[in-house]
Structure 1
């Protein structure tokens, strides 16, 4: 019996974990970063940045609404891909504490964890507005009496004993969705919704 198997570009494990997929994704991203580093080391910063966005980052974001990890070691492993890319883009490999953090701030790159959260919430927006072929009534139960802490489009949280369930897309994203402000969940378009999320991440 196999422990994991790729399906549509995502490695599924028999224990419903994501260690195998994250390992494959970060490995592919590092190999592509190596190719770019060897061939574009003397190019302008903007070109290096575009190469990272186009050829490296997609490897650690493909289908991330499905496998977005909650374990600290997995999140650190993924963020390391971006931190190494920042050193390359800046042509600076100093090991002084705080150097890479300053690079990321100067470049204006959001943490990959924030981008994955935004991707999950954007998919939730599309589901609630019938913009994707995922029937919301199968997975979402509207709250009949919204509290002051939640918006008027909040949903009930269905928690189970299994962590693999509680950290999966719907249970986890419902918590994030319910915490959004009223004007965000009622945004008139997907782009307006994304703009709201971007502003939140920049704060």
Structure 2
């Protein structure tokens, strides 16, 4: 099972909406353009991303290109010199879409572990039997065996979870977890 079709569909739709914004909001303020981007474009590239979050560099770059194009449009800066878009993203204080998806995946695992969603934790999460260098917290889980691409996101999320400090994994609420996780990663 590959995610090429999903990634292509998501990037195509987000690009079309961004093009619509370029045509209709060209003379608007940065604040209006940013609000339009976060309300109209970003949901397309983040909807259900905990399931299809790409693990290949090609797919990740395809998605990040949407945000980079949005930053150019927002700041009305279309220079092609190296580092221009990186500086624009820094000025806008936008996290990469990859980082946002990673926090979303970890937040879902937090919700599963704390029975905040209707996914049985005992069916999918097995506590780690021994603590080692890879586990920094008492809430570590064993990584299930799986060769299919469909397992890669779940296994990657558990690996990332196991490296989080216990102060983050034992957060009292989902919002606290997301805040600590965003600042830690």
Q: Cα gap change, 1:165/1:31 in structure 2, threshold over 3 Å: closer, same or farther?
A: closer
1:158 Cα deviation after fit: 1.7
SS at match of 1:167: helix
1:141 Cα deviation after fit: 0.5
Give the gaps of 5 or more residues in structure 2. Answer: none
Q: Distance in 2 between matches of 1:159 and 1:102?
A: 41
1:30 Cα deviation after fit: 0.4
RMSD: 1.1
Match of 2:85 among 74, 86, 100: 100
Q: Comparing both chains, which one has the higher relative contact order based on Cα–Cα distances under 8 Å and sequence gaps of 6 or more?
A: 2
Q: Which residue of 1 aligns with 2:174?
A: 190
Q: Distance in 2 between matches of 1:148 and 1:187?
A: 22
**Number of residues paired by the alignment?**
184
19-28 or 143-152, which moves further after superposition?
A: 143-152
Match of 1:179 among 163, 171, 184: 163
When normalised by structure 1's length, the TM-score is: 0.87
Q: Which residue of 2 aligns with 1:62?
A: 47
Q: Cα gap change, 1:165/1:159 in structure 2, threshold over 3 Å: closer, same or farther?
A: farther
Contact residue 68 and residue 89 of structure 2 kept, 8 A: yes
Match of 2:68 among 70, 75, 83: 83
When normalised by structure 2's length, the TM-score is: 0.96
1:115 Cα deviation after fit: 0.6
Q: Distance in 1 between matches of 2:67 and 2:42?
A: 8
1:148 Cα deviation after fit: 4.8
Q: Distance in 2 between matches of 1:139 and 1:198?
A: 24
1:159 Cα deviation after fit: 2.7
